[in-house]
A and B are shown apart, each in its own frame.
Chain A
Amino acid sequence: MDAIRTEVMRNRFAALVEEASIILYKTAHTTFIKQTQDYQCAMCTVEGEVFAYPRSNGVATLVGLSLKPAIDRIGVENIHPGDVIITNDPFSTEGMCTHTPDIFTLRPIFHEGELLCFSWAFAHVSDVGGAVPSSISPSFTEIFQEGLRMRPVKLFREGELNEQLKDIISDNCRIPSETWGDIIAMCSALSSMDRRIIELVERYSVDDLTAGIREVLAYGEAKAREVISDLPDGSWSFSDYIEVVAGQPLLLRCTMTVTGSDVLLDFTGSSPQVQAACNFVTGAAPHPALVRCFVAYLLSSSPEMPMNGGIVRPIRTRAPKGVIMNAEFPAASGNRAASYTRIYDLVLGCLNQAIPEALAGGGGSQAAIIAASVTDPLTRKPRVSVIQPLIGGSGGRRSMDGIDAIDTPFGFLRSAPTESVEHEMPFLVRRFGLVTDSFGAGRYRGGAALEIELENRSHEATFSVRGCDRFTFQPWGVAGGAAGHCGGGWKNGEPVSMIELQKLGRGDRLHLRSPSGGGFGDPLERDPEAVLLDVRDGLLSEARALVDYGVVIRDGALDLQASGAARAEAKARTEPQDGLFNVGAQRRAYETDWPEPSTVALSIGLLEAPSGLRSAVKTWVTERQPKGADPETVNALLKEGLAQIL
């Protein structure tokens, strides 16, 4: 590594991708890009490895992306100057694209006939056809419902637009001109990166460029290995559930193995793919969704970590074909964000075990967005608007409390001003704030839940909360911290399902509450002053201060003597916790009937069945599985069920 060239090139690369990211943002047309920054661009090597990635704008989590499958699909020998490759197909790109609205584009950069690297851009366009506007519904069962699908094909051939392809795209979108506008915005970003790379080559040389690429990647890898080496060697497993398919908690599982400066994340034991849109496709390379938490850990551990694919080189992933995170054709994947979120929690659970003092409790971790639709009285057309994200507090962290109202992996999201929401839609927001006594207790407490109360002022309005989860299983506490709480929904004070659409008449009130974060560490060790502060701030009642923390507060003041006694008594009363995690009463009760090892055995065993029969076999087994059955019993049932059904 050349000490100077590495840093000069790292800065040059960073500048040119930041610039292209701004161009893409500025010239794109549709809402997802403008409002939720769901787009990105980057530079990658001839082998498809990202060597420069923006920090300031766009999606933060794709730094470890591999573009190799798309390049291989076309064949590098068939790629010429001026080509632009386009695709949105998860299956032919090994999950490079993760759902159909994410359109990916790639442009080779040549200098004097030599292929130097690729520029890349993606955008979540607002619609690619399919069964519903915006092309996503959690209940879809196969990708054909999710709109137009394009394997990697050439949109431009040596600078010439493939008009027929453009027509096909346009004919298969509800808003063809906007979608095409987004594609052209991506092409502008690709060209900008191309131009800047050529300028670099002319200022320095091809050799400096290629050496620079090699060096910045090596620098990223070295920094990541430094952080990983600080973890002890060993192997740790963690399971958690998603509840997005009604009445059927789906177990996801990760085993993290650290060997020196290498990491393996193995998702064996996770639920087979389901007839719903929470699946996604991955391939041989470590998929960004699988390594997201680990990458967050790397970036948090070293603020100087370069943003490039070098940092995922030490990470390998394994997910058997046919599980939710490595789904087979033709699985639907529009709503894969639900699984992404829980996978983040799995790896966090493993890191908590690997790091001697643990890291953080589980957060609200639902990727939920409240949206509403009303019919415009004048035009009779429906008006749809995103109201607010409803995520939930983060878990308590090893040196600080959790974040109130939002979870760590969603820290990039922004809420809308209430005053704007009330102008856009005919609602009054009656309340938008934190919930008292909502967080998981801990030495460092979890983040409080967020609550919103909406009053309809129109004839009729329809609400949906896409991405809700954590209906019965609480966000877990760690290292003695208590579990957080689940969220909920109420219409005029009566509980309602968060999955179903809610219709509100004039004057009806809808009340939605997010989950809250689990605590970190023993609440009895929390600084009494911090407990007092929460009480003064109205986030904790005096009663809970005594019960959860053994802290006595009278008339707004600490009674340290009484607290000492209360803590001693509480310490004597509480049974020592078995294990690092407090997963909460609901999950403990569920796992008494459906033990985790048995569910894992079932998931693994089901993969033996032909993929088309797995769902039937699973139903056959679970209908006969006695409460509390051990893995052997489940395996025996599996064998029998398989024989019966075959």
Chain B
Amino acid sequence: MRTTTKQKIAFSVLFLSTLMVILPVVFVLGTIIKNGWQGISWEFLTSMPRDGMRQGGIYPAIVGTVYLVSLSIVFSLPIGVMAAIYLNEYARDNLLTRLIRLAIVNLAGVSSVVYGLFGLALFVTFMKFGVSILSGALTLAIMNLPVIITASRESLANVPYQFREVSLSLGLSRWQTIRHSVLPFAIPGILTGAILSLARAAGETAPILFTVAAFYLPKLPASIFDQAMALPYHLYIISTQIPNIAVKTRYATAMVLVGISFTMNIFAVIIRSRLRKKKKW
């Protein structure tokens, strides 16, 4: 076979594989939008569900998801970033550090329902937070920690080593070096990682199933010790529990959920490129 023919075959196979990656995305989004866009209205987004969730909107589910995601980031971002700084800047390569890294990699691979059960045992039952926004947010925070640590460590490691050398050679302490010469350059990457982990948290059902999700609340939660409705769980129950609900309501709910993740991802990309432009090396 001639080299150019081989080249062509290789090229086609690789291109087709790439197409196969986009195909499901296009198909999923297409189906959701085609079936759901008629269900989207101002009322759908801003009113409480009525008539056994067949009428009205999904406002409490949206609010619940926003509460959960925001509170979870309050817990996971500082701890995650600090752990990443320690691991990347301070930690020596010894047995303990290697064990910690191994633990983080393994944590990232644990299935989300296990986090849900863990949250139920620790936060709901043992720490007596009850089934509440606090328990759910903490569970999501723990689930997100490995993602945030890994993303933060990577962006810290991407800051050129010379930055640290110069800073240290000018007589600055290690902490001053990290604070002024490393961290500012790593922030775009850290933020991107954080937002992507949030987008994932917003879509997870299993961790919130036992720790916070309510089937129905006639009112919005008043404190972090209340239960909340959440979009992924709401989608699950209107698809499995409610007889004779309009198909467009299900798809419209899916569309809002996908829309939130999508917006967050785009937001992450924008922040990243904005901050990148400012800090160039």
Q: Do A and B come from one complex?
A: no
Interface of B with A (CB < 8 Å)?
A: none
Q: Which residues of A contact B (CB under 8 A)?
A: none
